[in-house]
Amino acid sequence: MNNLLIRPLQSETEAGFCAGFLAASEPWLTLGFSAEQVLQRLTDPTREVHIATRDDQIIGTLVLHLAGPLNGYIQAIAVHPDWRGRGSGTILMRFAEERIFRQSPNVFLCVSSFNHHAQQFYERLGYRRIGELENFLVAGHSEILLRKTSGPLLSFRQGT
């Protein structure tokens, strides 16, 4: 996709716009997340948040958690409904992987059991199922833990 720029989230206005389209999309609808709850996640200072823009229009967002036991966790990725199906989600994922693989050999993410389209998307990108958290966020649905790896943790050299 030409003219796609991925950069850090810069303002409350940008965060509010992203929170709006995330909360109006799956999996956040089924999970019951309000725009305010999504906004809290987008403005959490312990997260690294990026947006994808094209011609100064926000078309997607990405939330990374780069500390803790799952160092290299993609907490959220979303493309605005008007821009879906054009490859920008794949570009955001590649950006996330490049960022994470500089500091960890593993990229982790969870996908909701009812979100079959997203599961297929991640599988095409080489993610493998490593666990399932039953009834984790809402009753009757699981969060499926996925991983993509560049190799064992103990042989990883940061920055290579």
The whole-angstrom separation of Cα 43 and Cα 7 is 15
- Give me the CATH code for the 4-155 domain, please: 3.40.630.30
Q: Kindly compute the dihedral angle of the four CA atoms of residues 45, 32, 34, 89, in this order, to the nearest 10 degrees.
A: 60
pLDDT in tens, the chain (160 residues): 568 999 999 999 999 999 999 999 999 999 999 999 999 999 999 999 999 999 889 999 999 999 888 889 999 999 999 999 899 999 999 999 999 999 999 999 999 999 999 999 999 999 999 999 999 988 999 999 999 999 888 888 877 6
Q: Which residues pair with 39 in a beta bridge?
A: none
pTM of the entire predicted model? 0.91
Coil, strand, or helix at residue 66? coil
In the prediction, which pLDDT does 69 show?
A: 82
In the prediction, which pLDDT does 2 show?
A: 64
